[in-house]
Amino acid sequence: ECSGTDSANPATTFGDTLKWHAENLVVQNMRNGGETVVNWNLALDRNGGPHQGHVHQPLQRHRGDRRRSGHP
């Protein structure tokens, strides 16, 4: 998992993450004979936006009445 991280300056987080992905995932992959890089965001928050860490409850279970257990 390497979808990004918080940084000291939130304004540079996206650019820093993009640079890291290009250098470490794309370039290194191609140098080692890779042909494809798939970058799939599986860590979305409850509103469909990026999850920025700070996990308080990593898994949510659904009860039979379809209400979520744990944090609201």
Termini Cα distance of the chain: 26
What is the model's pLDDT at position 11? 84
Number of residues in the chain: 72
pLDDT in tens, 17-41: 888 888 888 899 899 998 888 877 6
**pTM, whole model, 2 decimals?**
0.47
What is the model's pLDDT at position 61? 53
Assign 57 to helix, strand or coil. Answer: coil
